[in-house]
Amino acid sequence: MLAHCSMRLSTDFDKNIKSEMRLPPFADIFNASFRIPFFLYFILFQTIGYYIRKYAWKNYSGFRQYRLRNLTVCLIHSMISGGWSFIFMIFNPTVMFKDTLHWYRSWATHLPILSVAYFVCDSLDMLRHELSRWTIELLIHHLGSILVFLSAILPRKFIPYAYWALLMEVNSIFLHLRSLMQITGYGLIKSRLFQLIRYTNLLTFLIFRFAVQIWQIHWALVNCHSFHLYYLFVAAGGGSFFFVLNIILFSRILASDGFLGEYGRSHIAINRFVLNCPFVETNQDVRTRLK
């Protein structure tokens, strides 16, 4: 039995040697090391979604209620993944900056696996409730994110790079809080708190999205000789694509928050819940419903 375990460990170690010079072993998604935690995290987010649907946002209905419930699950994922990756960076800066390619611990793969499970759950949730241009944009984002994380999990390389990507979820915490306050109307009656969240969202967007992505793309280009061309395509090409998506998202946020004037608010900003809910609440409506 010991010999069998030793042989298995040796085989796994051999597979990891120079795995960055080969395409990811996508067939390994059926291995227990990925399949079991993915299934458990998938069930976790499905359970979270079930209890949110059962107990949360009972004072709302229709699309507005769906958006609030969906955003609550998004916020929970962002708090887990953003918090975990940020704490990891604080305590392991050398790993994040200097050992981005080769550092690997089996426990560290659980965060990107958890995020893959979340993106699958969120994609299914969106397809059940909304089919629009914004759904398509988010599905493209989710599929791209899943590809990035699988490209780190399966070859057992680039795990710190995946943690860099998950640092963007730090900003997502404030992005989701902002959306929740807008949809519920709390932004109208808790204006100071809403302003704080708005500006914190903009600041963290610059740091945890734009700055992080610039670092990621730069790292990929500088170290492109150290790994297969596929990973350069994912890191630099995919990173540039996500950078453009974030520019679009940032411009929409600026427009929605009034920084681009009335033209920006009417031509660039997107309020999905307003488009799907044809009524507009007044401050008094909000206060009455929130009592």
pLDDT above 70: percentage of residues in the chain = 85
Nearest to 117 by CA among 48, 186, 192, 209: 48
Could you tell me which residue, 109 or 14, shows the higher pLDDT?
109
Contacts of residue 189, defined as CB under 8 A and 6 or more positions apart, other chains included, come to 283, 286, 287, 290
43, pLDDT greater than 80: yes
Domains in the chain: how many in total?
A: 1
Say which amino acid occupies 163. Answer: Y
pLDDT at 270: 66
Range of the structural domain that residue 49 is part of: 36-290
154-186 tens-digit pLDDT: 999 999 999 999 999 999 999 999 999 999 999
Answer yes or no: are the C-beta atoms of 85 and 163 closer than 8 Å. yes
Give the Cα separation of 98 and 271 in Å (integer): 41
> What average pLDDT does the segment 248-252 reach?
95
Query: Is residue 8 one of the residues assigned to a domain?
Result: no
Predicted structure pTM score:
0.88
Query: Is residue 14 one of the residues assigned to a domain?
Result: no
Query: Is residue 51 one of the residues assigned to a domain?
Result: yes
48, pLDDT greater than 80: yes
Nearest to 154 by CA among 26, 41, 38: 26
Query: Is residue 202 one of the residues assigned to a domain?
Result: yes
Query: Is residue 11 one of the residues assigned to a domain?
Result: no
Query: Is residue 18 one of the residues assigned to a domain?
Result: no
Question: Average pLDDT of the chain?
Answer: 89
Give the Cα separation of 172 and 177 in Å (integer): 8
> What average pLDDT does the segment 259-269 reach?
70
pLDDT at 16: 74
Give the Cα separation of 255 and 32 in Å (integer): 46
Query: Is residue 188 one of the residues assigned to a domain?
Result: yes
Indicate if the alpha-carbon torsion angle 245, 250, 252, 253 is positive or negative: positive
> What average pLDDT does the segment 246-271 reach?
81
Query: Is residue 25 one of the residues assigned to a domain?
Result: no
What are the helix (H) ranges across the chain?
2-16, 32-55, 62-91, 93-98, 110-129, 133-153, 159-166, 168-184, 186-189, 191-205, 212-222, 229-232, 238-256, 261-267, 272-276, 283-290
